[in-house]
């Protein structure tokens, strides 16, 4: 099976490692590279000094995207900066390739409908890289909600925060895609996983109001704090969903609390626990996934993608679904800029 990799930073290399693990010598990799300055990284994003990335993974590099697509790869892994996703994805879809597009789908909504139409017309496999859909804590949360373990849902509070300069210690944080407006950065798009799982669990919100912006001393030209209040509708009832994002917290925080009329569920994605409290406030259940390794998310995603390419499974996050979390993020950015409530037109989940 032949893969064309576009972007060999941390996530591109992770996908290559995992596909090599799953397929061994049956995987052939071609990389479309322009700058060719990415360091070789391990699973913990530590630099492997003196090791060439192309040599380590047996990758053949090319500098012409059209020529690479003419080789008819089975799939294209779109791992370049967010602002460049669409131009690569459209060409790959037109060439009939399968697609794994890293999140977010794009930095704006231009060309997204065209990509959806192309994928639909060609019946192509296209998966958006929201690996958190494979997280055991969130899967357990989804099970609990389906079982109405805490009764009717009343409110949801989501938080994600991590100090940006600590993300990739091998590079200047000011040059990272997440720090740069011209590459589709900013906390809203870079931490879009939370929007995806809110959409997955509670449906597309009807409207949002957000506050925040570039509030810290970080030397970046994008927002580093965003606090958004979404109006979702669950079982015909309004449910407020608050999502806080920041580039500043030390130690990092990542959690979700769902309040019901018969208790609450607290998911801690740092501690890897899911705790259920009854209506008397007493702990009734704990699920502990403390041995779970982060790379397992990407391995599960890669296994799913391969199964989709073989026709055994349907993509869990289609391009059409990936466009919904992007709509949420763009609405948040619009609200930040305007100071107004922004509608999304979502229906019940």
Span 104-132, pLDDT tens digits: 999 999 999 999 999 999 999 999 999 99
pLDDT at residue 238 in the model: 98
pLDDT digits (tens, 9 = 90+) for 73-103: 999 999 999 999 999 999 999 999 999 999 9
- Is pLDDT above 50 for 349? no
Angle of CA points 290, 11, 189, to nearest 5° = 90
Confidence of residue 156 (pLDDT cuts 50, 70, 90): very high
d(CA 18, CA 290): 22
pLDDT digits (tens, 9 = 90+) for 164-207: 999 988 889 999 999 999 999 999 999 999 999 999 999 999 99
Strands 273-278 and 28-32: unpaired
What mean pLDDT is reported for the chain?
Answer: 95
- Is pLDDT above 60 for 347? no
pLDDT digits (tens, 9 = 90+) for 322-341: 999 999 999 999 999 999 99
Do residues 292 and 298 make contact, with C-beta atoms less than 8 angstroms apart? no
- Is pLDDT above 80 for 21? yes
Q: What are phi and psi of 118, to 5 degrees?
A: -60, -45
pLDDT at residue 148 in the model: 98
Angle between helices 319-338 and 112-122 (to 10 degrees): 170
pLDDT at residue 346 in the model: 61
Give the pTM.
0.95
Angle of CA points 328, 269, 195, to nearest 5° = 5
pLDDT at residue 348 in the model: 36
């Amino acid at each position: 099976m032949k893969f064309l990799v576009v972007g060999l930073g941390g996530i591109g290399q992770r996908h290559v490692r995992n596909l090599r693990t799953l397929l061994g010598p049956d995987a052939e990799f071609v990389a479309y590279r322009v700058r060719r300055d990415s360091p070789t990284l391990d699973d913990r994003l530590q630099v492997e000094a003196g090791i060439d990335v192309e040599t380590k993974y047996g990758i053949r590099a090319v500098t012409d995207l059209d020529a690479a697509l003419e080789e008819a790869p089975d799939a294209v892994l779109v791992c370049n900066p967010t602002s460049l996703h669409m131009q690569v994805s459209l060409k790959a879809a037109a060439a009939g390739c399968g697609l794994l597009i890293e999140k977010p789908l794009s930095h704006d909504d231009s060309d997204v409908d065209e990509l959806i139409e192309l994928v639909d017309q060609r019946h192509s496999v296209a998966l958006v890289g929201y690996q958190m859909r494979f997280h055991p804590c969130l899967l357990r949360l989804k099970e609990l909600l389906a079982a109405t373990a805490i009764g009717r849902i009343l409110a949801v509070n989501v938080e994600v925060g991590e100090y940006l300069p600590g993300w990739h210690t091998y590079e200047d944080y000011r040059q990272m895609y997440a720090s740069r407006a011209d590459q589709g950065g900013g906390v809203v798009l870079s931490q879009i996983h939370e929007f995806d799982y809110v959409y997955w669990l509670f449906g597309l919100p009807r409207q949002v109001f957000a506050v925040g912006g570039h509030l810290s001393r970080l030397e970046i030209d994008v927002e580093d704090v965003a606090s958004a209040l979404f109006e979702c509708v669950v079982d015909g009832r309004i449910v407020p969903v608050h999502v806080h994002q920041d580039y500043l917290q030390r130690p990092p925080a990542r959690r979700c609390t769902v309040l019901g009329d018969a208790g609450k569920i607290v998911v801690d994605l740092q501690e890897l626990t899911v705790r259920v409290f009854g209506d008397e406030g007493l702990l009734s259940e704990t699920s502990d996934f403390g041995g779970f390794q982060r790379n397992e998310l990407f391995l599960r995603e890669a296994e799913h993608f391969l199964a989709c390419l073989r026709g055994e499974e349907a993509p869990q996050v289609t391009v059409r679904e990936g466009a919904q979390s992007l709509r949420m993020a763009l609405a948040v950015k619009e609200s930040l800029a305007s100071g107004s409530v922004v509608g999304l037109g979502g229906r019940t989940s």
